[in-house]
A and B are shown apart, each in its own frame.
Chain A
Amino acid sequence: MSRIRDEVKEKLTNKIIEWHEHTPQRIYISIKPQDLKEAAEVLFKKLNLRFATATGQDTPQGIEMLYHFSFDKSGEIFSLCVLIKNKQKPEIDSLANLFPGAEWIEREIWEMLGVNFIGHPNLKRLLLAEDWPEGKHPLRHEHES
């Protein structure tokens, strides 16, 4: 087992709901939404992982967020998986105050999936046109059912 994997496991120990190793290089860690900010701080600031990007997806259980952190010395990607159950009004802590690299992707997820990022310094549209209707989120699946 690689050193960084042990360290991540040790530092996040009480927050991990599920630890899944798809391959030795791709690790998915499920945590609770309220633990996200602390967990991200540990990975980014203490263990010096790089924030690659975040993925938001609309699932039947809720909005699932994946925060992909890359440890470039070994090429491992640790993805923090958070499930936001409230689909009507999804909310989660913003990471943009921890590192500005999260600012744009949170703006994107906000407009595409309607997730409100609490504490984001500048939550406004990034990609969608100005005349796109309010409250319509293109990556939501509701309109398809």
Chain B
Amino acid sequence: MSHKVIVPIGPYHPLQEEPELFRLYVEGENVVDIDIVIGYMHRGIEKLSESKHFDQGVFLVERICGICSTSHPFAYVNAVEDLAKIQVPERALYIRTIIAELERLHSHLLWLGLAGHFIGYNTVWMWAWKYREPVLDCFEMISGNRQHYGMMKVGGVRRDIKDQDIPMLNKTLDELVPAVNMFRGAVMDDPVIKARLKGIGILTKQQAIDWCVVGPTARSSGVNIDVRRDDPYGAYDRISWSVIVEKDGDIFAKTVVRILEMYESISIIRQCLNKMPKGEIDANVKEIVPGEGIGRVEAPRGECFHYVKSDGTNRPIRHKIRAPSFMNVASNKVGAVGGTISDAAITLAAVDPCYCCTERTTVIDKSSDKKILNGWDLIKLSQEKTENLRKIL
């Protein structure tokens, strides 16, 4: 029996887009317990929101996340519109949906690239990010920004999608399909990736329910939930698309869910572009009545939940924000424990946690003989395992 070693991953780690710290308790190769420390990115936005009026709040919550930057403002405007029972113009609903799905595309591609890198598929990494670029170009064309598009507004959207922009959007989607096809083939038909990701980091259906996880993390464990279908907002109930659900709950299932969801996103955007009616894009809301409202959005990582309470002034008296990773990251406690240290990197990344990245990972032996592994060593361990599998298969 080897002695217990603590492996801290984080607070800064290339796996993570934002800092957080996982303390892995390791015996030999096996992870026996995990301690999750967050709070490095806590900026008190809920408190800050109490001092911003309803128009400013949209910009504030957009800054919660740099990747799913439209999900929070979308959920916030949904909450305020639920509170004040505001009818949003039809065209604005379609534009919101297009923006949200473009965001899902770029976010899933980002994750796919990172996941590829961690298991030693650096070509997947480079290519996924290469195909992500045209999606960001679309955002730049529509909103002027590649991130933080500033499109949402209580009662509508801030900018229209112009007719002359639509050919480029369609072209981008057309060119993205063969790329996603390639990724699907690369993941689903590759025996090494299968051997590497199948049966790793399993979250069973019951565990997914108990930990209340959301999004692709829940759907890959057989929990059939998706806010877009269950509690429709935007234009999701006006078009046809399907929810991707897998049963196994392992990393392979999580990857498959995300890849297949990209096809749905492409289809949703195409339908929206075709069906989008002409007309107003803003309901010109003048005041917000007292009351409370709940808004939800299916962000790329899962349900994003906002609760807003108003006392009739121009700013909320309480604004509760719950991001999907808040539920998903906690479930790493069951996902990573019982696995090996070479799987830890990819397991912790598989819920697509939302963090920002630099590197500071060390393995410290608690007892005398100090053995230091940094973040690169961990990724190397993970990549070596893939390499070994490649030789066997």
Contacts and interface: CB of A to CB of B under 8 A. Distances in A.
Interface of A: 22-23, 25-26, 28, 50-53, 55, 57, 66, 68, 70, 72-77, 79, 99-105, 125-129, 138-139
B212 A66 contact: no
Closest 4 CB pairs of A and B: A101-B212, A75-B231, A53-B322, A55-B320
A126 B210 contact: no
Contact of A68 (B213, B291, B294): B294
Given A26-B82, A53-B326, 19 more contacts: A23-B82, A26-B293, A28-B292, A52-B212, A52-B296, A55-B318, A57-B320, A70-B230, A70-B303, A99-B212, A100-B210, A101-B210, A101-B213, A104-B326, A125-B39, A126-B38, A127-B38, A127-B42, A138-B44
Interface in B77-121: 82, 85
A23 to B, nearest CB: 7
Interface in B321-344: 322, 326-327, 330, 333
B273 to A, nearest CB: 26
Contact of B294 (A26, A72, A101, A129): A26
A70 B42 CA distance: 26
Contacts of A57: 309, 317-318, 320
B97 to A, nearest CB: 17
Given A50-B225, A55-B320, A139 B330 contact: no
A70 B214 CA distance: 12
Contact of A74 (B42, B230, B330, B333): B230
Contacts of A25: 231
B264 interface: no
Contacts of B322: 52-53, 105
B294 A79 contact: yes
Contacts of A138: 44, 47
Contact of B330 (A23, A70, A101): A101
B39 A126 contact: yes
A53 B227 CA distance: 15
Contact of A52 (B305, B309, B317): B305
B330 A104 contact: yes
A73 B309 CA distance: 26
Interface in B37-75: 38-39, 42, 44, 46-47
Q: Is the interface of A mostly helix, strand, loop or mixed?
A: mixed
B245 to A, nearest CB: 12
B47 to A, nearest CB: 6
13 contacts: A26-B293, A57-B309, A70-B230, A75-B227, A75-B232, A99-B212, A100-B211, A101-B212, A104-B327, A105-B326, A127-B38, A127-B39, A127-B42
Given A126-B38, A129-B39, A99 B210 contact: yes
A22 B326 contact: no
B326 A55 contact: no
Interface in B277-335: 291-294, 296, 303, 305, 307, 309, 317-318, 320, 322, 326-327, 330, 333
Nearest to A53: B322
B82 A22 contact: yes
Contacts of B212: 50-52, 99, 101-102
B209 interface: yes
B238 to A, nearest CB: 15
Interface in B186-217: 209-213
Nearest to A129: B39
A104 to B, nearest CB: 5
Nearest to A112: B46
A134 B364 CA distance: 30
B296 to A, nearest CB: 8
A129 B19 CA distance: 14
Contacts of B292: 22, 28
Given A22-B293, A75-B232, A99-B210, A55 B307 contact: yes
Contacts of B82: 22-23, 26
A22 B72 CA distance: 22
Contacts of B330: 100-101, 103-104
B32 to A, nearest CB: 17
Contact of B211 (A66, A68, A101): A101
A83 to B, nearest CB: 14
A139 B47 contact: yes
Contacts of B318: 55, 57
Given A68-B307, A138-B47, A77 B326 contact: no
Which of A72, A102, A103, A129 neighbours the largest number of chain B CB atoms within 10 Å of its CB?
Answer: A72
Contacts of B327: 53, 101, 104
A53 B39 CA distance: 18
A77 B233 CA distance: 14
A77 B303 CA distance: 13
A142 B85 CA distance: 32
